[in-house]
């Protein structure tokens, strides 16, 4: 019971995780800003019921004290303010962040395997893996391909995907039904 566990066999793990397709992505400023803004919008929409409830209570309170027009105006003002703070400021922060970001942070390698999708930064130790089971949907847009999980999404610009038909086939064979 006191003996240490043997380390996992690396060769077997690597054999199971063979890279079927890899895409090198270098995000442009516009793509980066759009991803950050879309992420902020998704977060805002997830919290919209909470924000609406708070704004409704504030509108009701102001409406009872100052009349219904003031109540409605305060509700709309508060929702608009919360939208601006969450979404519009995210856009401004993304523009500043991109300007200060080292080039290595702008580049990632997206690997598709039988297990899932792995996104690796050029900086050591920075990677994210999405198992195929967690990928709820894959969407091909005019200029990008997006992969959605319950908590996040990955956007790959089409300009970075030379083997688009191969990617479609791979995703269709692993996508969750």
Q: What integer pLDDT is reported at residue 145 of this predicted model?
A: 93
Starting at the edge strand found earlier in the chain, the sheet holding 144-148 runs: 137-140, 144-148, 153-157
Residue 3 has pLDDT above 80, yes or no: no
User: 90-118: per-residue pLDDT in tens?
Assistant: 999 999 999 998 888 888 899 999 899 99
Q: How far apart are the first and last CA of the chain?
A: 43
Residue 44 has pLDDT above 90, yes or no: yes
Task: List, in order, residues 6 or more apart from 101 with CB less than 8 Å away.
Answer: none
Whole-model pTM: value is 0.74
Can you tell me the distance from the alpha carbon of 14 to that of 34, in angstroms, rounded to the nearest whole number? 34
């Amino acid at each position: 019971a006191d003996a240490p566990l043997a380390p996992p066999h690396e060769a077997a793990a690597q054999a199971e995780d063979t890279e079927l397709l890899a895409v090198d992505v270098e995000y442009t400023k516009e793509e980066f800003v759009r991803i950050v803004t879309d992420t902020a919008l998704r977060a805002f929409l997830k919290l919209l019921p909470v924000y609406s409830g708070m704004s409704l209570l504030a509108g009701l309170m102001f409406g009872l004290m100052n009349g219904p027009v003031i109540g409605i105006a305060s509700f709309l003002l508060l929702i608009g303010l919360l939208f601006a703070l969450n979404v519009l400021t995210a856009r401004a922060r993304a523009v500043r962040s991109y300007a200060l970001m080292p080039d290595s942070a702008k580049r990632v390698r997206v690997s598709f395997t039988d297990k899932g999708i792995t996104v690796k930064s050029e900086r050591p130790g920075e990677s994210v893996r999405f198992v195929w089971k967690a990928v709820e949907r894959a969407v091909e847009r005019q200029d990008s391909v997006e992969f959605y999980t319950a908590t996040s999404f990955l956007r790959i610009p089409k300009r970075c995907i030379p083997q688009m038909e191969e990617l479609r086939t791979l995703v269709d064979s692993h996508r969750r039904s």
